[in-house]
Amino acid sequence: MKVVTKQDGTGRLIYSSEILTDIVHCALDEVKGVVRAQDSRKISDDVRIEQIGDRIEVDVFVKLLWTVEVSDVASRLQNTIKSTIESMTEFRVKDVNVHVIGVEVNEN
């Protein structure tokens, strides 16, 4: 388990990478057009989080519905993930990198 820490005047706040991944999954669920082939809450291969100084960088690997505009969905994902993390934690997000790894033809 990887941890991410935030230092302030009274001590450290330590987050497991799993809680940050869960926060990102909540944000992914908010954006229409994102498809996950399986319940990726059970695996964290679709989200990578790195701490860079006092900021974090997020990489997400997603499939999209074939009917959406990729750049629009990617932009909405970046904004939603950034605002969700920053509203739920003390972290500032440096970057959100969206990797589109495929498209889904059937909307199941």
CA distance 84 to 27: 6
CA distance 90 to 5: 10
Model confidence pLDDT, tens digit, residues 16-35: 889 999 999 999 999 999 98
Model confidence pLDDT, tens digit, residues 39-86: 544 456 899 999 888 899 999 999 999 999 999 999 999 999 999 999
Give me the domains of the chain, ranges plus CATH numbers: 3-104 (3.30.70.1350)
Q: What integer pLDDT is reported at residue 62 of this predicted model?
A: 94
The token pair at 105 is 């033809």
The enclosing H or E element of 50 equals strand 47-52
Q: What integer pLDDT is reported at residue 37 of this predicted model?
A: 46
Phi, psi of 68 (to 5 degrees): -95, 160
pLDDT at 89 > cutoff 60: yes
Residue 21 vs residues 35, 58, 60: alpha-carbon distances, Å? 17, 9, 10
DSSP per-residue string spanning 11-32: EEEEEEHHHHHHHHHHHHHHST
30 touches 21 (CB < 8 A): no
